[in-house]
Structure 1
Amino acid sequence: MKLRQWQSECINLALSKYKSETKHFLTLATPGAGKTAMASVLAKRLFDLGEIDLVLCFSPSSIVAKDFSDELSQQFSGYFDGSLGASGNSITYQKLNTLSNVTWRLFEKYRVFVIFDEIHHCAGSSMLDANAWGQPIINKIKDKAKYSIALTGTPWRSDALPIALSQYCDNTKKIQCDYIYGLKEAIRDKVCRTPQIIALDNDNITVIKGEETSHFTSFKDLLSQSVIPYSEIVTNDIVIEQLLNSAKTALDKIRLKNKSAGGLIIASSIDHAWQIELILRLTIGDTAVVVTSNEADANNIIRKFRFGSNKWIISVGMISEGTNIPRLQVCCQLTNIKTELHFRQILGRILRMTESANQEAFMFIPAEPKLVKYAYRVAQNIPDEVDIVQIKTMGDALETEITDFEMNESEVASEKHKKMSVLGLNNNNLKESKPLSAHEDTGFWDDICQNQLTDTYEKIMRIFGKFKHESLNIDGFDTLTISSQSIDKLNQHHSDHI
């Protein structure tokens, strides 16, 4: 295969460092750059040089592990499934702690080259601070592998733990990479697309609670008051509809030239995914493939979509880092996860260049302050003359109402947990607005939205209603049962924030 320039440079540098007694090599390359092919070619070069006997590859998901298996099989012209006669195997990190002694004895008898894909999942500088995936790497692979290469497109962890097999600068605590290939270079080399990130906002929000009326000029303004959690925004029917309308317009335009171009919608939960599917089908008029952990054949669903021509795929944690679907060119982010790592990995799904005529890439997000901050950070990695971030806001006013409910003893929750239907975005009459500040604090709900109680809150009240036309209705409230354990956690959380 013909390698890209960065792939050749990285392979040659790795071979050079291995000769100088360096066993472990870390490559940082932007999502979509072609790390799978590079690492597979490096493995074959080492094998042809007589430096290694076997190759083991570890990945964060089974779909990515299968991609590595296919690429390695192509490079080695043989099986790569761990069977008798194969040159190695490609498996997930989840299986690390279930491998038998037969596998670990391979490191004693043979020279094994190990590929770690998305190494940031594996934490630990020692056994004292290692996570479940980092422990066997440190304990059983680090000193026993002949060589290894670790790959990442996002070289940090949300919990700030050190990444396994990595070195850090003492003064800055920044990770030391052996080879770096950033988004700016990838766009320059036409390896990755230049993304356009569209954040949808509302500058005239009215919230009515009893006799009190409050006005908000943006999502940032609303969220800073801790009135609602961000999860209520991304699960709101009107917000979903307006983001999908904008995304559909972009995808339809691309498909005029690229008939197989696809769109990815990231949902927060399985129920949320089917809520989005319903709105997309009944309101927007498009159909979508839905892939979640509930599907026994999720990998086959993803592979069929990859090589098909369906317009949309809705995913809950199944299509993120490393998943290769080059025809994806539009993404709608409706997950309530707001980490920069997750944001960049989702963006990476639409960046891979193809041979198609149109190479545009669009990401649509609510104008939540942290997400907008991440978008501007991405923009810093792109040539100065390219303006990739747009914030669009609705010209019409929005009015919504908070309704209080009397709860019996089994439905105790704090005042903070009362919910409302909010935030209508209109795809018509959009206008440009000023960028949000890159430094915000969205307060109380930032912490609570990402903890284990999120699903409980979402099930407490499902609020539906049409903007300015219908009163709010509560669906399923009477049948709700909250466990005593959840009640204790809610009460404790309430006590901590009084």
Structure 2
Amino acid sequence: MLRSWQKECVELAVKKYAVSDKHFLCQATPGAGKTIMAASLAKTLFDKKMIDRVICFSPSVEVANNIKRTFGKIIGCSFDGSFTAIGASMTYQSLCSIPQSTWDGLSKYRTFFIFDEIHHCSFSQDKSKINTWGERVVFHLQDIATYTLALSGTPWRSDALPIALVNYSDPEGELICDYQYSLSQAIRDNVCREPKIVLVDSNSISDGHETYGSIAEFVKQTHSTYQEVLNNDSALRYLLKLAVLKLSEIRASNSAAGGLVVASSVKHAEMINSLLIEEFNQTSTIVTYLHDNSTQKINTFKSSTEQWIVSVGMISEGTDIPRLQVCCHLSSIKTELYFRQVLGRILRSGKGKIEFAWLFTFAETSLVEFAERINIDIPDSCSYVEMECETILVREDIFRPVTSAKINRDNKSKESLDKLVLGGLTSERGIAYDELLSGCSLSSIQIKSLRTRVIEAFL
């Protein structure tokens, strides 16, 4: 049975297609159930005899396989791309190897193309800026498509380029969606969990010469990098301990609840996995592109009761593991797009009851900004305008003593309730992998007097 928003979206898309407008964009928060909606729309179009074929593209093999299973089940027929199948699910990467004869063959059918996470496909009037996936979508698929459905939970790009098949208002450059289902709506409908973001900071960070009063101050005023914070033994153990305690608390009433750690490199992931097992007595699985059978391990973890899964980029957008409820964002990728995609891995509920999703990360300046505006589905900074980007000044007083004011629904207050007081410790290939070169030797900086701040955006 479809959720209310899925039914509304399907009905609206069919109406739009019926009046000869063949493009439809749905922006729905991560975890809302976009794949089920898309499969239901495809079935409706088949039932109405409006299409002959459906082809789905997505950013990873894991997501493509999930789409294949979901569409096959809902449509009720083969969806393996074979000669007798009515549909296929493949990755955007495969676009590069599809011969022209295939496009010519598809043009003879009424084909419904679905683009999951369409933000992976950029487009620009300047052809030197358009990426290969976007070029294929724009110059090959949109002309032969009978209808298209573009899906995204985070419809913008870190490189600020416009997205293929997407319309923007003129001159504001704001994204124009045919249907939008926000995180606040999903939380209200108990479709998604309410996010709580725990920012770990320090009153005392020393590089051996100077002492700084926050992570933001340290990174800004020294030649050190955020990676040194991620590799710091004291800080890492403190954050992991918070996350382990939170997961244990949740598992007291839900024994299947799991946690995800997004690491910054393979070595970083291996170190974290060892800490979880040896220091915190947790069960944990590591999945990276260098480890064997990672896809199989992800599928096994989905239906197990194992506590943690540690990853570098393999569990990001589109990967569906509903039992994940706690996440440690320990990646060196600091873009709003990636931050929201990681958070999206723990938002999916599906139980129809109030639940919370806990994200733990360090109080690096950009990550603090992203956390503070998480209740804005499409930030103003995501508007696309053909001009040079202005420099955005960041508040430097962001970590003055925290008051007890909460972030309210209309975002008028930018303070949060510091309610997790545990005392101080004194001891876009889609995903960028250049941080793997950084290794993970333990940082020589000293981080003491750690503190936490919890941001609650939907109250």
Taking structure 1 as the reference length, the TM-score comes to: 0.78
Larger Rg: 1
Residue 30 of structure 2 corresponds to residue 31 of structure 1: yes
- Cα deviation for residue 72 of structure 1 reads 0.6
- Paired residue for 2:395? none
Give the aligned partner of residue 287 of structure 1. 283
Aligned to 1:50, what secondary structure does the other structure show?
coil
Map 1:143-158 to 2 at 5 A.
143-158=143-158
Distance in 1 separating the partners of 2:257 and 2:444: 32
Query: Structure 1 residues 100, 330: CA separation in 2 closer, same or farther (over 3 Å shift)?
Result: same
2:163 is the counterpart of 1:139: no
Measure how far apart 1:396 and its partner are.
Answer: 4.3
Q: Which residue of 1 aligns with 2:227?
A: 231
Deviation at 1:106, TM superposition (A): 3.0
Matched, 1:371 2:363: no
1:76: how far off?
A: 1.9
Q: Is the 8 A contact 1:237 1:279 kept in 2?
A: no
Which residue in the other structure is 1:76 paired with?
Answer: 75
Is the 2:206–2:447 contact (alpha carbons within 8 Å) kept by the matching residues of 1?
no
Q: 1:95 to 1:118 in 2, by over 3 A?
A: same
Distance 1:354 1:89 in 2: 26
CA distance in 2, matches of 1:19, 1:467: 61
For 2:422 and 2:213, locate their aligned partners in 1 and report how far apart those are by CA, in whole Å: 11
Aligned with residue 260 of structure 1, among 256, 260, 273: 256
1:215 to 203, 211, 215: 211
- The aligned counterpart of 1:67 is 66
Q: How many Å separate the matches in 1 of 2:368 and 2:194?
A: 17
Indicate the residue corresponding to 2:117 in structure 1: 118
Q: Which amino acid aligns with 2:318?
A: G
SS at match of 2:114: strand
* Partner-residue secondary structure (3-state), 1:378: coil
Distance 1:385 1:121 in 2: 30
Please list every run of at least 4 consecutive aligned residues from structure 1 whose deviation after the TM superposition is greater than 6 angstroms: 385-388, 450-453, 464-468
Task: Please name the residue that 1:170 is paired with.
Answer: 170
Letter in 2 for 1:33: A
Deviation, 1:14, is: 0.6
Preserved CA contact (<8 Å) 1:241 1:284 = no
Confirm or deny: 8 A CA contact 2:287 2:298 kept in the other structure.
yes
Q: Give the Cα–Cα distance (whole angstroms) in 2 for the partners of residues 345 and 167 of structure 1.
A: 22
Distance 1:103 1:383 in 2: 52
Matched with 1:427 is none
- Relative to 1, partners in 2 of residues 1:166 and 1:453: Cα closer, same or farther, differing over 3 Å? closer
Tell me, in whole angstroms, the C-alpha distance in 2 between the residues paired with 1:134 and 1:270.
Answer: 30
Q: What displacement does 1:305 show?
A: 0.6
Cα distance in 2, alignment partners of residues 367 and 276 from structure 1: 19
Partner of 1:330: 326
Aligned twin of 1:444: none
- Give 1:101's aligned residue: 100
Residue type of the partner of 1:330? Answer: V
Whether the 8 Å contact between 1:201 and 1:393 is mirrored in structure 2 is no
The answer (yes or no) to whether the contact 1:202–1:394 under 8 Å persists in 2 is: no
Deviation of the 1:107 alpha carbon: 2.3
Between the aligned partners of 2:333 and 2:44, the Cα distance in structure 1 is 40
Q: 2:307 aligns with which of 297, 311, 320?
A: 311
On the 8 A contact 2:169/2:175 being kept in 1, the answer is yes
TM-score (norm 2): 0.84
| Secondary structure in 2 matching 1:151 | strand
User: After superposition, what is the alpha-carbon deviation per residue over 1:389-414, rounded to whole angstroms, capped at 9, x for unaligned?
Assistant: 5666875485xxxxxxxxxxxxxxxx
Quote the residue 1:419 is aligned against.
Answer: none
- Contact kept, 8 Å, 2:232 with 2:445, in 1: the verdict is no
Unpaired segments ≥5 residues, structure 2: 378-406, 449-459
Aligned to 2:159: 159
Q: Are the structure 2 counterparts of residues 238 and 356 from structure 1 closer, same or farther at C-alpha, using a change threshold of 3 Å?
A: farther
Q: Which sits farther off after the overlay, 101-110 or 133-142?
A: 101-110
SS in 1 for 2:208: strand
Percent identity, please.
43
Q: Whole-Å Cα distance in 1 between the matches of residues 78 and 108 of structure 2? A: 21
Deviation at 1:173, TM superposition (A): 1.1
Distance 1:396 1:108, change over 3 A: closer
Say which is worse superposed, 108-117 or 200-209, in terms of deviation.
200-209
Q: Distance in 2 between matches of 1:295 and 1:262?
A: 21
Q: 1:464 to 1:277 in 2, by over 3 A?
A: farther
Q: 1:453 to 1:306 in 2, by over 3 A?
A: closer
Distance of 1:225 and 1:287 partners within structure 2: 39
Higher relative contact order (CA 8 A, sep 6+): 2
Q: 2: distance between equivalents of 1:300 and 1:457? A: 28
State the match for 1:198 in structure 2. 198
Amino acid corresponding to residue 384 of structure 1 in structure 2: R
Query: How many aligned positions are there?
Result: 412
Contact 1:126–1:138, Cα closer than 8 Å, also in 2: no
CA distance in 2 between partners of 1:329 and 1:371 (Å): 19
SS of alignment partner, residue 172 of structure 1: coil
Q: CA deviation at 1:453?
A: 6.4
1:451 and 1:300 map into 2 onto residues whose CA distance is 23
After superposition, the Cα gap between the structure-2 partners of 1:342 and 1:103, relative to the gap in structure 1 and judged at 3 Å, is same
**Alpha carbons of structure 1 residues 153 and 277: separation in structure 2 relative to 1, 3 Å:** same
Amino acid at match of 1:11: V
Greater shift, 379-388 or 363-372, is seen at: 379-388
Conserved in 1, the CA contact under 8 Å of 2:284 and 2:306? yes
CA RMSD after TM alignment: 2.5
The aligned counterpart of 2:237 is: 241
1:54 maps to a residue whose letter is R
Indicate if the aligned counterparts of 2:56 and 2:116 stay in contact, CA closer than 8 A: yes
- 2:144 counterpart SS class: coil
1:182 is aligned to 2:182: yes
Q: CA deviation at 1:126?
A: 4.9
Which whole-Å CA distance do the structure 2 matches of 1:451 and 1:117 have between them? 19
Match of 2:269 in 1: 273
Q: Deviations over 1:304-350 (max 9, x none)?
A: 11111110000111001011000000000100010000000111111
8 A Cα contact 1:56 1:89, kept in partner: yes
CA distance in 1, matches of 2:226, 2:340: 19
Distance in 2 between residues matched to 1:108 and 1:62, nearest whole Å = 25
- CA shift digits 1:36-81 (9 cap, x unpaired): 0000000010011111001100000111111110111012212111
1:170 counterpart letter in structure 2? D
Task: Kindly provide the CA deviation profile for residues 185-229 of structure 1, in whole angstroms up to 9, marking residues without a partner as x.
Answer: 1111111111111001111334423xxxx2211111111103410
AA partner of residue 183 (structure 2): L
Paired residue secondary structure (2:151): strand
Deviation at 1:245, TM superposition (A): 0.4
How far has the Cα of 1:455 moved from its partner?
Answer: 4.2
CA distance in 2 between partners of 1:136 and 1:3 (Å) = 32
- Alpha-carbon distance between aligned partners in 2 of 1:191 and 1:100, rounded to the nearest angstrom: 41
Contact in 1 for aligned 2:328/2:360 (Cα 8 Å):
yes
